[in-house]
Amino acid sequence: MLAKRIIPCLDIKDGQTVKGINFLELRNVGDPVELGRRYAEEGADELVYLDISATLEGRKTFAELVKRIAENINIPFTVGGGIASVDDAGPLLLAGADKVTVNSAAVRNPQLISDLAEKYGSQFVVVAIDAKRIDGRWTVTTHGGHRPTERELFTWAKEAQERGAGEILFTSMDHDGTKSGYPIETFARLSDELSIPIVASGGAGNSDHIVEVLSAGKADAALAASIFHYGEIRIGDLKQQLRGQGISVR
């Protein structure tokens, strides 16, 4: 069995790490390079940086930040936010990012997944999916969970895999921010139906939730933000607990 991964997520605005609720009431939680270095030292396996104010002007600034991250941090990291074309992804990968993540743009234009995978390889492409249960169906949403689409979670995840996605990052918008745990059966089904890794996001309120989604939920990795930023869970302690539960971690 492959070792499970722990992945802190850092939202970036104006060059700083921020955290809020649905991108409102944003608070500065630290320098993204220093925070990333700290997480790496604590035992994080990877990092995700999301440019939440991805304007054209910000794209250049973000690429410069990505270069600084690559020069200072010795673990893999993924970047995303507003990537809508192969040309958007290129500068970020050239600056040193290990992977890029696409979400709303891929829903609008699924060919984007194919184009990115063809040019850079599937291992560089993470497809993020935000979905919520509407009338008993997992409906894919865009714009931070506010806009339902016609797409359904499992069929869209399979299409993303077929088009060349190397990983699926799934967030349940029903659980995101609640700190009440993950939809375990949904993650388990995703893992059973797909052959690529599944990253769990949204819903973690304590280390037991992460243990559950990596075991019963069969997720390959757990991604979180607030619980790491505010010191509610220490990565070293979390990994020790995972090992104690018989879960393989790096």
Place of tokens 């699926």: 168
Other CB atoms closer than 10 Å to residue 200's CB: what's the count?
Answer: 32
The reported pLDDT for the residue numbered 1 is: 65
pLDDT tens for the chain, residues 1 to 250: 689 999 999 999 888 898 765 545 677 888 999 999 999 999 999 999 999 876 555 666 689 999 999 999 999 999 998 899 999 999 999 999 999 999 999 999 999 999 999 999 999 999 999 999 999 999 999 987 889 999 999 999 999 999 999 999 999 999 887 889 999 999 999 999 999 999 999 889 999 999 999 999 999 999 998 899 989 999 999 999 999 999 999 8
Task: Confirm if 240 and 211 have CB atoms less than 8 A apart.
Answer: no
Place of tokens 């375990």: 184
User: What's phi and psi for 13, nearest 5 deg?
Assistant: -140, 125
pLDDT tens digits for 3-12?
999 999 999 9
Place of tokens 């234009």: 109
Among residues 228, 184, 185, the alpha carbon closest in space to that of 205 is found at 228
pTM above 0.75, yes or no: yes
Both tokens of 12, joined, read 């970036």
Residues with catalytic roles: 11, 130
The reported pLDDT for the residue numbered 108 is: 96
Question: How far is 81 from 55, CA to CA, in rounded Å?
Answer: 9
Q: Going from the N-terminus, what domains does the chain have, and what CATH number goes with each?
A: 5-244 (3.20.20.70)
The reported pLDDT for the residue numbered 23 is: 47
User: What's phi and psi for 223, nearest 5 deg?
Assistant: -115, 135
